[in-house]
Amino acid sequence: MKDSYDRKINYLRLSVTDRCNLRCKYCMPESGISKKTHQDILRHEEMLRIVRISAKLGIEKVRLTGGEPLIRKGIVDLVREIKCIDGIRELTMTTNGILLGDMLDDLVEAGLDRINLSLDTLDENKYRKITRGGELGPVLDCMKRILDKKMKLKINVVLIGGFNIDEVVDFVNLTKDHPIDVRFIELMPIGEASQWSHDKFVSGEKVLELAKLLPVVTEDLGSPAKYYKLEDGLGRVGLINPISCSFCDNCNRIRVTSDGKVKPCLHSDSEIDLMNIIRNQGDLEEALKEAIWKKPKAHGMNDEDYMPIKRDMNRIGG
């Protein structure tokens, strides 16, 4: 299905929980979040129904997000069932990797195609600081296991001024000997980060200043990343620059939150309550069509009157 600006919408990001086992400073309050009851989040069968109807409307790719999706009970079964839905050609997951060790084999067997690993530093002390207590070791161990399995891997690095800019080259060098994508993402003024000082926000172009990279042509116009590579590298380096270089013209996605709201745009508070529609026997297909049709032309983060959205990222889905 296409939206009102003739963009083909074929990608669904589905958040399975807003809870997380970390407290990353730009994502969640230090005190954590108030827990929702089981009744307040989508049930497995409701998520599956959303994916089935989305696939009928042209969704081909699903990414499971959170919070941390691996803390959701029954996540392996959910992966298996989504993978069996007609029309879904790719199923991926964004995770911090801490819980992945005991579940990786089962997730691969269930049909998970790729892991997107959230990792903002390769330094143990800095990792503990940015996550408010997380341990880096299990994440690096899982990264090695993923590579050993020759599974597709993307590493997402949020660029933070004064924190990890000195590690850009180290992250880039991971792509030299491994066929992985390391993607640098500009910090966005959402939730906790909306109150941070301006010097924390660094343009993705800083990566090009620090590393000698060659541009890579990609046919995936819907990808938010512009890709580059080391001259002799096996992997790629991606720059995701939603602020300095908007990619809205080719946006191909919608998001569904764990509490059942579909968001046509990440950077808008506009939502449609799918949970209410499902539980009151409403027309779910028409609601999803409406959400796709209502996608705005652009996010507006560079507008003078832009107001940060109300939800933290953990309540939306990364």
pLDDT at 3 over 70: yes
More confident residue, 31 or 89: 89
For residue 6, tell me if it sits in a domain. no
Q: Which of 152, 157, 144 is nearest to 101 (CA)?
A: 144
Mean pLDDT of the chain: 90
Q: What pLDDT sits at residue 225?
A: 87
Is the CB of residue 99 less than 8 Å from the CB of residue 21? yes
Task: Decide if 75 is inside a domain.
Answer: yes
- Round to the nearest angstrom and report the end-to-end CA distance of the chain: 23
Which range among 33-37, 66-70, 164-168 shows the weakest confidence by mean pLDDT? Answer: 33-37
Name, of 30-44, 182-196, 268-282, the range with top average pLDDT.
268-282
d(CA 172, CA 184): 10
pLDDT digits (tens, 9 = 90+) for 42-64: 999 999 999 999 999 999 999 99
Confidence class of residue 310 from pLDDT cuts 50, 70 and 90? Answer: low
Is 208 within a domain? yes
**Residue 93's pLDDT is what?**
98
Report the sign of the C-alpha dihedral through residues 145, 147, 149, 154, in that order: positive
Instruction: Judge whether 153 lies within some domain.
Output: yes
Number of domains in the chain: 1
| Residues 111-129, mean pLDDT to the nearest whole number | 97
Helix ranges (DSSP H) in the chain: 44-56, 75-83, 104-110, 124-130, 137-148, 168-177, 205-210, 274-279, 284-293
Residue 198 lies in a domain: yes
**Lowest pLDDT segment from 31-35, 51-55, 264-268:** 31-35
Q: Do the domain assignments include residue 214?
A: yes
Residue 141 has pLDDT above 90, yes or no: yes
What pTM value is reported for the model?
0.92
1 is a domain residue: no
CATH assignment of the domain containing 266: 3.20.20.70
> What confidence category does residue 304 fall into, taking pLDDT thresholds of 50, 70 and 90?
low
In the predicted model, is pLDDT for residue 22 greater than 70?
Answer: yes
Identify the domain containing residue 224 by its residue range.
Answer: 11-315
* Residue 3 domain flag: no
